[in-house]
Structure 1
């Protein structure tokens, strides 16, 4: 970067470090394709089945494997060259994307096959995800860790902006098959970035004998550290209720657009895009907020605001107000999760970072999988607005309870 120095903008400092930008860019291209596929398959499942439970269930299958596989992924990531480990995971996801595209082009795509592919893709993602987060963290010094994680969330959400917009165009012109094919090709960008990356190999000798016991010991060590550290323990509990009660707004976007507003793929794409836009704005600005107020006050404030903003989104009487509300919700959601993840990484010993990242992923994704399926199933029976607004109010009540009963609990989130 030129000497105008991005350090003036603390949220952008990670871009100054060699290696970070190419991986970030490759991941962005891949996520554009992923979000094209996500919107296309979400609309496909909702239109074919007409049930929120199916839409939520397919999404849940992508995240349910985290309960078992995310801790295993963290332990493995602390053993092998993370660059190669992530590349193998990306290659596996690309092959699954090719499989879905072939099914679509041959008119053999079905909801059960989409569900199977979602589950397998989730398995790969949960095994490789902790390694990717830790790989990014190792490309920057500790003082720029929050910048690295915020920008990683920003690229994920930029994909959420660009992907649905492109997806709407591709679905209108070429149909779901071309959206799935473009996603398959997008994985080549992250593979190319990883191929060019040179990082120190973080690995232990591979010994088959006693491997399972050794991995279990590694997982147990990560759990022990999380349990003993008050800050990590608090944010992991917070992550669980965020995943269970608030995060399902992401997977239920097609249901909201189709069943509540009576619209289709374009409305779903608009809402997903607005959420992503809010998250990107937040990712750029969160560094300034933390510099001004400190991580504890920012995290505490955003936890208190998530419930009311989520309720506002679900109660929106028009698509325009829903788009504005989900923009705010996307921003608050990103600030919350980035703050939580940073606490886990900053407070963990370096050699345990992947394992703590995997526990964060396990709690978030496990809570989300249960929440999105349960809220979808209940929405079919009593209405999507009633279920989701109740969840948002319950979330606010839980956060207020912690704040009132243990007013200094968030002090432990400071480094």
Structure 2
């Protein structure tokens, strides 16, 4: 389960990532509180969140191009440095007790731009510190650390804001970025698993889109992730609506549901980390559990039962995300990896931007219970459609790859005496027939098999 921790560079990266995620959630909570205290408006607070997520939808493809052309380690270091400076600026603004939110929005927007341009490099760099053999385990452990960092960050911010003030939280986040930079310096260059850079003819945004659009498996995965990410995963909206409405649990009930959901994410990450392989079949199972659980949760009569439903839903959601992330990394060629990761990030950002308002409108018009049932039914339909699509691909690919029929040889008169057989120097005498690689598999150079291709040929789907 912890096999990726045997890599020195991954141990450093996992530690730095946990510190960074904890600081990020501390900053998010502090920034939301600061905006709310200035304006008294939840809408203004929501606009600050939009400022951070909108750039990913617009600039994500350029982030993918940067990741595939420049060394990932230096792109990551640049992004972390920029975010450290922005955290310091937030701390200085908070010390001055600002009367308006304009500067806070501006910093949020720049933070979003930095995230959009460097997140694909983060994903690519994660593959380089752990290697393809332990990539799925590294991603799963990353999910566990992300959930733990979220819980710890929100808890620390909740305790630090009344004791030390909002500015202290921002400065603590800046110190966390310095820790990430230190980890990058301490990594051993010889232990990296470098991915090939983009090829001269495939360095633009269009090459990444062409690859994604030509791979039906990738399109099905992204389509399923979008539907479940928008209607099946925005529980910040539906949990609040259920706690405030039918369950009549108030703010304390909403907090308890949030803790239950966070605990479920940890369980899902642990389960994903314990598996050697994360096949597409597991993706479909996780999507079905997530959708069916949401559909049933709409009828939960009490807070306890609704909270119990959050555990399998959250666990399945993390398994789904980890499986999609693993398949994106292993099934895409190295020189296009950053652009495929950026496409995945755009899908995630779009699902969050579309799903929140859609679920909010459904809760307002139909009620929270009906909204959960309807969204769960749509998500379950999407999971079944994805299963049908993958089944069709499995049926059509063997037919497309079938060899041509072998015809009976025509007898040729053989002249008397021995006939010399011409040979080519260096040619191998035995002929080896290999099975065709699945679509989307990068073809290694002659005589060299990449690690990703080796793991696939060993049975990884």
State if a TM-score over 0.5 links the two structures: yes
The residue number in structure 1 matching 2:208 is 222
Q: 1:315 to 1:231 in 2, by over 3 A?
A: same
The residue number in structure 1 matching 2:391 is 408
**1:75 and 1:215 in contact (8 A); partners too:** no
The residue number in structure 2 matching 1:187 is 177
Deviation at 1:340, TM superposition (A): 0.8
Counterpart of 1:301 in 2: which secondary structure? helix
Counterpart of 1:139 in 2: which secondary structure? helix
Deviation at 1:317, TM superposition (A): 5.7
The residue number in structure 1 matching 2:129 is 139
Instruction: Select the structure with the greater relative contact order (CA < 8 A; seq sep ≥ 6).
Output: 1
Deviations 1:178-236 (A, max 9, x none): 3333223222221211122243677869xxxxxxxx89853211212212222212111
Distance 2:30 2:297 in 1: 22
Q: 1:99 to 1:383 in 2, by over 3 A?
A: farther
**2:84 and 2:174 in contact (8 A); partners too:** yes
The residue number in structure 2 matching 1:305 is 289
Counterpart of 1:108 in 2: which secondary structure? coil
Deviation at 1:312, TM superposition (A): 5.2
Q: 1:221 to 1:273 in 2, by over 3 A?
A: same
Deviations 1:61-102 (A, max 9, x none): 322222221111111011112111111111222222223333
Distance 1:173 1:94 in 2: 23
Matches within 5 A, 1:212-251: 217-250=203-236
Deviations 1:10-31 (A, max 9, x none): xx21111120011110110111
Distance 1:51 1:41 in 2: 13
The residue number in structure 1 matching 2:142 is 152
Q: 1:123 is matched with which residue: 99, 113, 117?
A: 113
Matches within 5 A, 1:52-63: 56-63=46-53
Deviation at 1:384, TM superposition (A): 5.4
Distance 2:285 2:38 in 1: 41
Distance 1:346 1:352 in 2: 12
> Is 1:329 matched up with 2:304?
no
The residue number in structure 2 matching 1:5 is none
Deviation at 1:252, TM superposition (A): 7.1
Q: 1:87 to 1:253 in 2, by over 3 A?
A: farther
Structure 1 stretches lacking a partner, 5+ long:
1-8, 206-213
Quick check: which has more Rg, 1 or 2?
2
Kindly indicate which of the two structures has a greater share of residues assigned to helix. Answer: 1
Deviation at 1:151, TM superposition (A): 1.6
Distance 2:298 2:85 in 1: 36
Q: 1:361 to 1:195 in 2, by over 3 A?
A: same
**2:243 and 2:249 in contact (8 A); partners too:** yes
**1:154 and 1:283 in contact (8 A); partners too:** yes
Q: 2:334 is matched with which residue: 350, 361, 378?
A: 350
Distance 1:99 1:354 in 2: 30
The residue number in structure 1 matching 2:444 is none
Q: 1:333 to 1:43 in 2, by over 3 A?
A: farther
Q: 1:67 to 1:407 in 2, by over 3 A?
A: closer
Distance 1:321 1:194 in 2: 45
Deviation at 1:110, TM superposition (A): 5.0
Q: 1:344 to 1:229 in 2, by over 3 A?
A: same
Q: 1:101 to 1:285 in 2, by over 3 A?
A: same
Matches within 5 A, 1:259-408: 263-264=250-251, 270-289=256-275, 291=277, 295-311=279-295, 320-376=304-360, 379=363, 386-387=370-371, 389-403=373-387, 406=389, 408=391
Distance 1:30 1:221 in 2: 32
**2:289 and 2:316 in contact (8 A); partners too:** yes
Deviation at 1:244, TM superposition (A): 2.0
Number of corresponding residues: 393
Q: 1:54 to 1:196 in 2, by over 3 A?
A: same
Distance 2:253 2:179 in 1: 29
Distance 1:204 1:407 in 2: 30
Q: 1:46 to 1:301 in 2, by over 3 A?
A: farther
